[in-house]
Structure formats: structure tokens, C-alpha cells
Amino acid sequence: MKSTPKISDTEWEIMRIVWERHPITAREILKQLLADDPTWHPKTARTLLARLVQKKALDYVEQGRTYVYSPLVNERECLASAGESFLDRFFGGSLKPMLAHFVGRQKLTKKEVEELRKLLDEATDGKTKQTGDKTWKR
């Protein structure tokens, strides 16, 4: 199994853009970063792109003076790896205390509680085992 690179919070911002719009030029990435947060500096973005290439999270091709980037890693696999790392670091790898922590701190609607119950029921039935499911949003 291929190892998933550790991606920092700021690198995640770049990866999300690349996953969504690849192949994409460095200029287009910077334009999107600046649209989301005007404090981004071009040199910082270039440094992070180079770091992501070094980590083998991104690849690029040169087209003249333009660099066109594409992901080498799958978003779902990176989300799964980051989730497992988070669970290990903060909750000793145990899902129950993490779930109790977040449920205790959030005000959930009845619909959200029903959705959580359904997910837990499906997990115990062995019907689903997905990571990175984008249908769960608050």
C-alpha cells in the first residue's frame, strides 16, 4: 500500500484547489488562493507547491514558462490518513471518546442525530465503510 504524505493545513488549501480543478496552473492556483484569502503571498504559494511536489503529493509539467499541476494522491485517501492521525493524536485511536467529545460540544438537530444513528447502524451492520464522504455537512 502506498504511503500517504503528511499535508500541513496550508498545503491542504492548495491541494483542495488542485483536486477540484486539475490540471491547473500555478497562476490559477494563486488566483483562487487570493480570492479565498487576500493575504496569500505568491512566494509562499510557490514554496508550498514545491514542497507538495517534493512530498509526491503533486506532479507538474512545464509548458513553456508555465507549470501545470496535477495531484498524485487521492483526496479520499488523504482525508482518511489525516482522520486516523487526528484520532491517534487526540483520542488514542479510539472513535468513541472523539464522538462523545464532539457530540457533547455541538448542538445537533434531530435530523443530524438521525443521520448519525443511521451511520452507526450501517457501520455495525458492516454495510458501509467510507471515508471522506462529503454528504455530512453542518
The residue type found at 113 is V
Instruction: Tell me how far apart the alpha carbons of residues 71 and 29 are, in angstroms, rounded to a whole number.
Output: 13
Confidence of residue 127 (pLDDT cuts 50, 70, 90): low
Is this model's pTM higher than 0.85 or not? no
Is the pLDDT at 14 greater than 90? The verdict is yes
Domain map (residue ranges) of the chain? 1-91, 94-129
| pLDDT tens-digit readout, 30-89 | 999 999 999 999 999 999 999 999 999 999 999 999 999 999 998 888 888 777 878 778
User: Once rounded to an integer, what is the mean pLDDT over residues 6-28?
Assistant: 94
Could you tell me the fold of the domain covering 1-91?
Arc Repressor Mutant, subunit A (1.10.10)
The pairs formed by 105-109 with CB atoms below 8 angstroms and a separation of 24 or more are 106/138
